[in-house]
């Protein structure tokens, strides 16, 4: 155990659990780490210095427990990258840096949430918002009081969050059945909010997303001229009751229309009528936005009279994205966006373990938007989350084959580059060379599969969560060995084009059909396009 000097009892306890989770830290060889009070620093700020010479030492200046917590992340990174930390102030750019469990699908388990709070803190997050779409208490059964068991679990999450510098908040989504004009439906949601307040929750959410876009109640239709008016009336009424409980309470509203240009009639009318003290959630131009930028944030504020609180639907892969595995770094989020946003929440996948990879990069962006580098951050996330270098290399190859989402212009970059080189080779009369390129890549893929399927693989939960993508990865590896054989044995026409047989064409078509029968998305569109192109060239050679 490293020698920690000047730390509080709470910081010593945190430090112990931190080094137990990160063995590289425990084995770092630091002779001492000195903790110093500094009233000049903000709540989450620290000044960290390290010496990575023979006698390793470090100093942490901080004013609060949170500052100490995030300073540990800097020390860990210095060890994993073998870089000393210079003597300057470290502080986050985004004030609110959160994870929202807001996906459709199987909710995370309590154990995952508890463990997640430690990971989220490692990534620099300071908020966790509990809002699982398919957990009945959140949407379908919102009028019933929360059970004692549920409240006990939330209390445990709050304590775990406090140990890790993370505020835990809870959202209720009544929009499927609420009657907006009925005071009893204000009272019904307040029963839950009062229960949560009694155990210490101070940040709440009221969600009206993914609900019917028209007034369903006859009483509502008689009272309100628009659904926007009904929504703002209800939210303001709940807020009026909620703020009576505590002046420190906050309430974030997710509107029915939560994406777009910010100029649409609904969001403009709703936002303008909403109490200015309420936070208004926004996902950007799309449900899963390719980019988030400052100009759109300014338009949103101008039209809604609210600064956007971003709910970023990445790396979530629910609904229409179920066949995709979102494991790449966050991209397309503008530098300086923190100056035009109340904060940012990332919506992960139901696959808890694999969500951590992208969440780590999101934490990097939120901490330092100016210095954020997607590729560097992604590589660091793998190093942080997987100690075994051989396992990491194999799984890295699988993950990069799955790079595909609304963010990614160039999916599966390594495989795509190989296909481009192979395609150029066979199109310029060097079919055997193309075969060698594909064969080498396919053999590497099958070697990766062998490593990941091994009983000794260090991250069996990663393997479990990625199984259907791993299965397709293996199928492509085996299929492309056959493609490599076809190319290696193909002739060249008098025009230097590929020359194949009817049997070759049948085999390519069979491979293509077999791979397309599995809807799992991997390797982007380049996989099928290359096979189609190859089949077309062989077909053309048979008729030329």
DSSP H or E segment with residue 99: strand 97-101
Report d(CA 64, CA 192) in Å as an integer: 32
| 333 DSSP 8-state letter | B
Per DSSP, the three-state class of 62 is strand
pTM score:
0.95
Which residues form the domain of 147? Answer: 97-384
The two tokens of residue 361 are: 């990069």
Please indicate, yes or no, whether residues 251 and 153 belong to a single structural domain of this protein.
yes
Residue 1, pLDDT score:
46
What's the Cα-to-Cα distance from 253 to each of 5, 59, 256, 444, rounded to whole Å?
44, 42, 10, 49
Say whether both 210 and 287 belong to one domain: yes
109 in the same domain as 45: no
Count of domains in the chain?
3
CATH number of the CATH domain containing 180: 3.20.20.80
Task: Establish if 403 belongs to a structural domain.
Answer: no
Residue 424's pLDDT is what? Answer: 92
Report pLDDT for 259.
98
Clarify whether residues 36 and 181 are in a common domain: no
Same domain, 456 and 526: yes
- For 183, the token pair is 């005071």
Q: What is the pLDDT of residue 14?
A: 93
Residues pairing with 50 in the sheet: 58
Q: Which two tokens stand for residue 152?
A: 């006990």
pLDDT of residue 500: 85
106 and 255: one domain?
yes
**Residue 323, in any domain of the structure:** yes
Contact 458, 391 (CB under 8 A): yes
Query: Average pLDDT per run of 10 along the chain, which is 544 residues long?
Result: 83 91 77 90 92 77 95 90 79 97 97 97 98 95 96 98 96 96 97 98 97 93 96 98 95 98 96 98 96 98 98 95 95 97 98 98 97 96 95 97 82 92 90 95 98 97 98 97 93 73 94 95 90 90 78
């Amino acid at each position: 155990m490293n020698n920690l000097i000047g730390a509080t009892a709470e910081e010593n306890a945190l430090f112990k659990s931190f080094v137990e989770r990160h063995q590289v830290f425990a084995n770092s060889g630091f002779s001492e780490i000195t903790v110093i009070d500094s009233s000049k620093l903000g709540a989450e700020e620290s000044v960290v210095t390290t010496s990575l010479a023979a006698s390793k030492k470090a100093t942490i200046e901080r004013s609060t427990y949170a500052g100490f917590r995030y300073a540990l992340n800097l020390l860990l990174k210095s060890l994993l990258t073998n870089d000393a930390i210079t003597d300057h102030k470290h502080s986050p750019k985004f004030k609110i840096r959160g994870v929202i469990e807001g996906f459709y699908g199987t909710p995370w388990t309590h154990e995952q949430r508890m463990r997640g709070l430690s990971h989220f803190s490692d990534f620099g997050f300071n908020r966790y918002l509990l809002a699982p779409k398919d957990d009945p208490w959140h949407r379908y059964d919102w009028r019933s009081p929360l059970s004692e068991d549920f409240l006990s679990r939330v209390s445990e999450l709050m304590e775990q969050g406090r140990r890790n510098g993370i505020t835990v908040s809870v959202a209720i989504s009544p929009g499927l059945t609420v009657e907006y004009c009925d005071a009893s439906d204000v009272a019904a949601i307040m029963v839950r909010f009062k229960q949560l307040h009694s155990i210490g929750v101070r940040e709440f959410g009221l969600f009206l997303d993914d609900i019917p876009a028209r007034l369903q109640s006859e009483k509502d239709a008689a009272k309100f001229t628009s659904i926007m008016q009904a929504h703002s009336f209800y939210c303001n009424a709940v807020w009026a009751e909620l703020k009576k409980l505590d002046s420190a309470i906050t309430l974030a509203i997710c509107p029915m229309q939560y994406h777009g240009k910010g100029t649409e009639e609904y969001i403009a009318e709703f936002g303008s009528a909403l109490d200015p003290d309420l936070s208004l959630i926004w996902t950007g131009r799309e449900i899963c936005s390719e980019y988030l930028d400052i100009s759109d944030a300014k338009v949103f504020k101008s039209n809604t009279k609210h600064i956007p609180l971003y709910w970023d639907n990445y790396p979530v892969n629910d609904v229409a994205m179920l066949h995709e595995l979102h494991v790449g770094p966050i991209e397309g989020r503008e530098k300086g966006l923190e100056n035009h946003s109340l904060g940012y929440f990332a919506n992960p996948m139901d696959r808890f373990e694999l969500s951590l990879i992208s969440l780590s990069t999101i934490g990097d962006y939120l901490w330092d938007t100016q210095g954020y580098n997607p590729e560097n951050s992604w590589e660091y996330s793998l190093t942080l989350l997987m100690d075994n270098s051989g396992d990491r290399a194999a799984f890295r190859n699988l993950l990069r084959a799955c790079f595909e989402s609304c963010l990614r212009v160039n999916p599966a970059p390594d495989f795509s580059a190989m296909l481009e080189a192979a395609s150029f080779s066979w199109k310029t009369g060097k079919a055997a060379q193309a075969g060698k390129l594909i064969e080498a890549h396919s053999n590497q893929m099958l070697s990766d599969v062998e490593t990941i399927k091994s009983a000794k693989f260090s991250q069996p939960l990663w393997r479990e969560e990625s199984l259907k993508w791993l299965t397709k990865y293996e199928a492509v590896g085996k299929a492309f060995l056959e493609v490599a054989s076809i190319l290696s044995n193909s002739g060249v026409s008098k025009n230097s084009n590929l020359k194949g047989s009817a049997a070759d064409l049948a085999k390519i078509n069979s491979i293509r059909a077999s791979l397309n029968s599995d809807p799992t998305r991997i390797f982007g569109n380049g996989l099928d396009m290359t096979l189609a192109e190859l089949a077309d060239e062989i077909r053309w050679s048979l008729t030329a």
